[in-house]
Amino acid sequence: MRPLRILFHMMKADYLERVRRYNFLITILVSIFIVFKFVPASNENYLTLSLNGIRGIYNSAWIGSTIATLASMLLSLPAFFLVKNAIERDVQTGVGQIIATTPITRWLYIMGKMWSNFVLLMSIVSVLIVSALAMQLIRGEDYSVDPVSLLLPFLYSTLPTMALVASMAIFFESVPFLSKGLGNFIYLILWGFSIKSSTTATHTTQDMLGISPIVTRLSSEANARSSHPGEGHISGISPLKGDLVTYDWNGLSWTIGVFLERYIWFAMAGVIVTIASIFFHRFDLTRSVQINKKRKSSRAKSKNELQSKPEPEPRNDIKIKLTPYTHTVGAGRSSYIKILAMELRIMLKGLRLWWYLIALVMIVLGVVLPMEIVVEFILPFIWVWPVLIWSAMGTNEAYYRTHQLIFTAVHPVRNQFIVLWLAGVIVAYLTGSGVMIHCVITGDWERLMAMTVGGMFIPTLAVALGIWSGSGKLFQIVFMLTWYLGPLNKWAVMDFMGATQESLDRGLPLYYLLATVILLMLAVIGRVRQMKVYH
């Protein structure tokens, strides 16, 4: 019983510490908003999980199935970034060094962190379930509540998915080369692959997200009522064209065997955690000690070499002349440009050659390919590539503990913050330059304006969320979710870069320009608030 007691208290302490963070609260609020938008009213101009304007009546079975599908597909992306800091937080706070002196095994520690992740994610799912029930009553198409029909899709689809996400987050943290930005990018690829494989899966072992039975049943019933049966598959978000057609959706025939097949993924989560415990360093600092020994030996060697050399005779004829400080307008501008160049250099430092090559390929493709192909395949991805660069904006000072130097410098807002923001905007314009040049060539001024606004909106969102949350994880969650719903799935409201014609026709870039101004003001307020702590 002692290991179980230790496991329980580890989970409890870690869970309570996490739910008190702003990131958790913001994730809850964003999830509620997405549920609200994912159940559109009958007078809205878009549909979710529909085919040719056909969807089910908003009863408990339909609401439960759609929101459970939404949670498995969309929540699995931000959930990974939300919980992928369990080990890192113990390292930064020094708790890990204390744990390393206790008899807690690697497997027990990793298992405790995994279940803490799982309980945290299921807390968010519980909020989604309550929100789903509220949306059924708000939309008012069917007021009869069936708790079983509402809950079973979550138990089948979402529960194992969250266990997988929790275990993969721990695995990516435990493996050294996956713990940083490369691991985030690899998970993004795996997430996209899992959505594609789950929607077309023919067996439970191929359906990681547990959405295949629901999507297949929805497609078959919608095709049966369509004027062109058998010619389509339901889509996540689609515009409403023509009249809305609804039908009574009764859900799936849930059996114990269906759940047992699905819960194989729980066992897979356990296997992933066990493998992660093998890679887990258990807060071993011997590597850093070895590095320090090498540094000390090299320093001692250099010191001996210096001591072996004859000391130069002192000279008294050296005249020291200091350059007088003269502040001129031209010198100030030159210094500002130098600071901006240094900020860009720091922002792009450490990137591999293949990162630049892929960015260059997307720039070239944005210029030479036809505009229709560029908008469909190139435009949505050009600003996913630098996401890890932007996620560090506003957080490097806390991460590298340089805030005492930066916040006490002369004019830190004007000399450092504005330069940081401009560097992020320049990165956006450089990576998107191919499409922007193509817009100039073809005279597509509306899309060029949308991209100009989008290039300012993304780094502004990054620096604002980074300053107020103290971490780049929140930006990664919000940005990737917005990107998936907007530019990738063509939801005009979330399209911040002009990837859809509807967003251009509705003048949404102007709203994103207003949002950029508001976010920039909030970022400045947050930076001034940080400065007051050190003055």
* pLDDT tens by residue, 40-50: 888 888 788 77
* Cβ-based neighbours of 108, under 8 Å, separated by 6 or more: 3, 6, 7, 10
pLDDT at 329: 46
pLDDT at 511: 94
Helices 60-70 and 22-38 sit at what angle, rounded to 10 degrees? 130
- Neighbour tally for 6: CB within 10 Å: 17
The mean pLDDT of the chain is 81
pLDDT tens-digit readout, 230-260:
555 676 677 777 778 888 888 888 889 889 8
> Is residue 403 pLDDT above 80, yes or no?
no
pLDDT at 305: 53
Report residue 533's pLDDT band, with 50, 70 and 90 as the boundaries: low
Strand partners, 246: 55
The rounded percent of the chain whose pLDDT value lies above 70 is: 84
In the numeric block, which tokens belong to residue 513?
Answer: 């320009």
- 3-state SS, 97-125, equals HHHHCCCCCHHHHHHHHHHHHHHHHHHHH
> Is residue 324 pLDDT above 70, yes or no?
no
The Cα 523–Cα 470 span in angstroms is 12
pLDDT tens-digit readout, 62-90:
999 989 988 888 888 888 888 888 888 77
pLDDT at 176: 84
pLDDT at 289: 45
In the numeric block, which tokens belong to residue 207?
Answer: 């359906």
| Cα 204 versus chain centre, distance | 27
Between 218 and 514, the higher pLDDT residue: 514
> Is residue 426 pLDDT above 90, yes or no?
yes
> Is residue 330 pLDDT above 60, yes or no?
no
> Is residue 518 pLDDT above 90, yes or no?
yes
> Is residue 191 pLDDT above 50, yes or no?
yes
> Is residue 108 pLDDT above 50, yes or no?
yes
Q: What is the CA radius of gyration of the chain?
A: 27
Contact present, 238 and 50 (Cβ < 8 Å)? yes
The Cα 463–Cα 120 span in angstroms is 26
Looking only at the bridges linking them, the beta strands covering 54-56 and 245-247 are parallel
Contact present, 494 and 30 (Cβ < 8 Å)? no
Nearest to 382 by CA among 466, 510, 487: 487
| Mean pLDDT of the region 155-172 | 92
Q: Where are the beta strands (DSSP E) in 30-86?
A: 46-50, 54-56
pLDDT tens-digit readout, 365-377:
999 999 888 888 8
The Cα 395–Cα 472 span in angstroms is 7
Q: Which whole-number Å values give the CA distances from 51 to 72, 119, 207, 215, 246, in the listed order?
A: 20, 35, 22, 11, 11
pLDDT at 334: 59
Residue type, 467: I
pLDDT at 463: 92
Task: Give the global pTM.
Answer: 0.71
pLDDT tens-digit readout, 286-296:
544 454 455 45
pLDDT at 292: 47
Report residue 478's pLDDT band, with 50, 70 and 90 as the boundaries: confident
Nearest to 154 by CA among 78, 42, 60: 60
Nearest to 211 by CA among 166, 250, 252, 256: 252
